[in-house]
Amino acid sequence: MKKWLFRILWVPALAIAVLFLVANRAPVSISLDPFSAAAPAVTTPALPLWLWLMVMLFLGLAAGSVGMWLSGRSKRQKAHHEHKQLKALRAELADATAKLRAAEMRAEKPAEPPLLESADADD
pLDDT of residue 84: 97
* Domain region containing 87: 77-104
Closest to 25 measured CA to CA, from 44, 51, 43: 51
If asked whether residues 67 and 99 sit together in one domain, one would say: no
Residue 45 sits in the same domain as residue 87: no
How many domains does one find in the chain? 2
Indicate the angle between helix axes 2-23 and 49-71, nearest 10 degrees.
140
Q: Are residues 87 and 64 in the same domain?
A: no
pLDDT digits (tens, 9 = 90+) for 42-60: 888 889 888 888 899 999 9
The pLDDT score that the predictor gives to residue 7 is 83
- 69-85: per-residue pLDDT in tens? 999 999 999 999 999 99
0.75 surpassed by pTM: no
Asked if the structure places residue 120 within a domain, the reply is no
Is residue 16 situated within a structural domain?
yes
Answer whether residue 122 shows pLDDT above 80: no
Q: Which residues contact 118 (CB under 8 A, 6 or more apart)?
A: none
Region of residue 114 (phi > 0: left; psi between -120 and 50: alpha; otherwise: beta): beta
In this structure, the answer to whether residues 64 and 89 fall within a common structural domain is no
